[in-house]
Structure 1
Amino acid sequence: MTTTLLRRDRKALVPYLTGGITADWTDYLHALEAAGADAIEIGLPFSDPMLDGATIQQASDRALARGATVASILADLARVTVGVPLVVMTYANLVFRAGPAAFCARLAEAGVSGLIVSDLPVDELAEVERAAADAGLALILLVAPVTSDERLAEIVRRASGYLYAISVMGTTGERDTLADSAAPLAARIKAVSDLPVLLGFGISGPAQAAAAGAVADGAVVGAAVMRRILDGATPDELAVDIARLRAALD
Structure 2
Amino acid sequence: MKTLTRQLKAKQQANETIFVPYIMAGAQGLDQLADEIQLLTEAGASAIELGIPFSDPVADGPIIQAAGLRALENNVTLQKIIQQLKKIETKTSLVIMTYFNPIFTYGLETFIHDLAETDVKGVIIPDLPHEHQELVAPLLKDSDISLIPLIALTTPKDRIPTLVESGEGFIYAVAVNGVTGTGRNYQETLDEHLAYIQKVSDKPVLAGFGVSSKEHVERFRKSCAGVIVGSKIVQLLSEGKRAEVSTFIKEAVSK
Amino acid of the residue matched to residue 231 of structure 2? A
Report how many residues are paired.
Answer: 247
Deviation at 1:58, TM superposition (A): 0.4
Deviation at 1:151, TM superposition (A): 2.2
Deviation at 1:106, TM superposition (A): 1.6
Measure, in 2, the Cα distance between the counterparts of 1:21 and 1:123: 32
Partner of 1:115: 123
Deviation at 1:176, TM superposition (A): 5.6
The answer to whether the aligner puts 1:28 opposite 2:36 as a matched pair is: yes
Deviation at 1:190, TM superposition (A): 1.6
Q: Deviations over 1:111-160 (max 9, x none)?
A: 21000001111001112111122332111100011111332122112100
Q: 2:206 aligns with which of 198, 206, 216?
A: 198
Query: SS where residue 91 of structure 2 aligns?
Result: coil
Deviation at 1:179, TM superposition (A): 4.3
Partner of 1:14: 20
Q: 1:71 aligns with which of 58, 75, 79?
A: 79
**Consecutive unaligned residues in structure 2, runs of 5 or more:** none
Query: SS where residue 156 of structure 1 aligns?
Result: helix
Q: Indicate how the Cα distance of structure 1 residues 91 and 109 shifts in structure 2: closer, same or farther if over 3 A, else same.
A: same
Q: Deviations over 1:41-89 (max 9, x none)?
A: 0011111100000000001001111111111111221111111110001
Partner of 2:151: 143
Contact kept, 8 Å, 1:176 with 1:204, in 2: the verdict is no
Query: SS where residue 50 of structure 1 aligns?
Result: coil
5 Å matches for 1:116-195? 116-175=124-183, 178-195=186-203
TM-score normalised by length of structure 1: 0.93
Identity of aligned residues (%): 34
Measure, in 2, the Cα distance between the counterparts of 1:77 and 1:180: 40
Q: 1:239 aligns with which of 237, 246, 250?
A: 246
Contact kept, 8 Å, 2:28 with 2:238, in 1: the verdict is no
Query: SS where residue 150 of structure 1 aligns?
Result: coil
Amino acid of the residue matched to residue 17 of structure 2? K
Deviates more, 1:109-118 or 1:146-155: 146-155
Query: SS where residue 203 of structure 1 aligns?
Result: coil
Partner of 1:57: 65
